[in-house]
Amino acid sequence: MPRTAARRSRDLVPNATSPDALTLFTDTSARLRRLVPFDAAIWRATDPLTGLITAPVLVENLTEGGCTAYWECELLGENVNLFRDLTSAPVPVAGLRESTGDRRSQGALYQKFMRPRGFDDELRAVFRVSGRPWGLVSLFRERGRPPFDPQDIGLVTALSELLARRLRGYAQPPSAPVSTPGGGPGLLLFDAAGTLVSVNDDARRLLAEMPPGPAVQTPFGVALPAWVLNTAAHARLGGDSVTARVRVRSRTGRWLICHGSCLRDQDGRSSSTAIVIEPATGSEMAALVTVAYELSPRELEVTQLIASGLSTREIAARLHLSPHTVRDYVKAVFDKVEVTSRGELVAKLFTEHCAPLLADRTVRRLTG
């Protein structure tokens, strides 16, 4: 990567820590537009474990209908520069005209989404670090503007890891415990065409917690965020072959899981799709903590045993390691999580992340 692009990209990411991912997207977009002009954009966070979009989503200069058309093209059309391919590509950024040799009209995205809205080129990027996708962006230029060039691509490429690291930081535990109001799981049912046909009261309550972003209004009086619709579409179109599961942080600060399942009739045909939204379990949070702090599987094991109260010698015996090796793992975990003691580690990873989840599932009785 050219040194100039790397230096300029650091200036594009706000120096002060943005309070949330939506603010980070907004601030970065305003700065980027001055160096890489664009007319519309879609910024979104992704679940690092599944790659599916999650909250927040920032849409600039696109109507609600335009957003829906974009998601449909991304899921249904045969397009170049697919996000799942860019996630593992040597360079996680591509311009449509540059990568197709100006034969952009062959893809569904151009035919069904870009051309009807006057867009002539798209630059898309995956924000990744350590091979995990933490966010995506699509930038669009209107007809008559020059295509995105290699210099534009180089600048956005330099942004990829910087923004991924910032987005990853929002997956780390908050500075204070989060309240976890009661209630059951939310359930939404979609028919074979993807239309919402049923919703329970718990789903209404949980949807009301969702962070701001593009959403589709329904006759049921609830607005469905774009990432919920995207998860439902993945479940409906992919059936049993895809993992339609995302983690999302609500406005209250707690983590929720949204997962979709394709339901089939007695003949095995896809008949409807169910979406369940519920508080994240301890195991779900352990998986997220692992990627948020880049813990190895063994480091996560050691961390969980520390949280269980085991001493260094007890952990060594449990894992068939030497005490010296365990101490090396503990030091590595302390460095990654930025703590200096076991108590601090447990408070940061367990008390603030997992203990509230367990509290919801604890049965308390008074006996005489």
Domains of the chain, each with CATH number or no CATH: 3-167 (3.30.450.40), 186-280 (3.30.450.20), 283-359 (1.10.10.10)
Question: Residue 95 is inside which H or E element, if any?
Answer: strand 93-95
CA distance 319 to 24: 41
Q: Report residue 278: phi and psi, to 5°.
A: -155, 165
pLDDT of the chain, 368 residues: tens digit per residue: 555 656 666 677 766 667 888 999 999 999 999 999 999 999 999 999 888 888 888 999 987 666 667 777 776 655 678 888 899 999 999 999 998 887 777 677 888 889 999 999 999 999 999 889 999 999 999 999 999 999 999 999 999 999 999 999 888 765 444 555 667 899 999 998 889 999 999 999 999 988 888 888 899 999 999 889 889 988 887 766 667 889 898 888 788 999 999 888 888 888 899 999 998 877 677 777 778 888 888 998 898 888 778 899 999 999 999 999 999 999 999 998 888 888 888 777 755 444 443 334 333 334 33
- pLDDT tens-digit map of 261-272: 988 888 888 889
Yes or no: say if 20 and 213 are a contact pair by the CB < 8 Å rule.
Answer: no
CA angle 201–205–210, rounded 5-degree value: 140
Residues with Cβ within 8 Å of 223's Cβ and at least 6 positions away in sequence, in order, are: 207, 215, 216, 217
Provide the residue type at 113 as one letter.
Answer: F
Q: 307, 282 in Cβ contact below 8 A?
A: no
* Tens-digit pLDDT profile for residues 208-225: 988 888 888 899 999 999
